Amino acid sequence: MSETTKKHKAEAPAKLKFSIYVCSTSRYQKIRKDQ
């Protein structure tokens, strides 16, 4: 492994602090209708 790769891995955060939520349009529209 190159020095650059080692450095990058050492400085990278252990956990990401965001998430991605995917919801299909049809499901979203149904939820909106039910409210």
Q: What is the dihedral of CA 25, 27, 28, 34, to 10 degrees?
A: 140
Q: Give the per-residue pLDDT at 20.
A: 80
Q: Give the per-residue pLDDT at 31.
A: 79
In the chain, where the domains are located: 3-34
Cα–Cα distance, 27 to 23 (Å, whole number): 7
Q: Give the per-residue pLDDT at 8.
A: 83
Q: Give the per-residue pLDDT at 30.
A: 79
Q: What is the pLDDT of residues 1-35, one digit of tens each?
A: 788 888 888 888 777 777 787 777 787 777 788 87
Q: Give the per-residue pLDDT at 24.
A: 75
> In angstroms, how far is CA 29 from the centroid of its own chain?
23
Cα–Cα distance, 9 to 6 (Å, whole number): 5
**Joined tokens for residue 26:** 């049809």
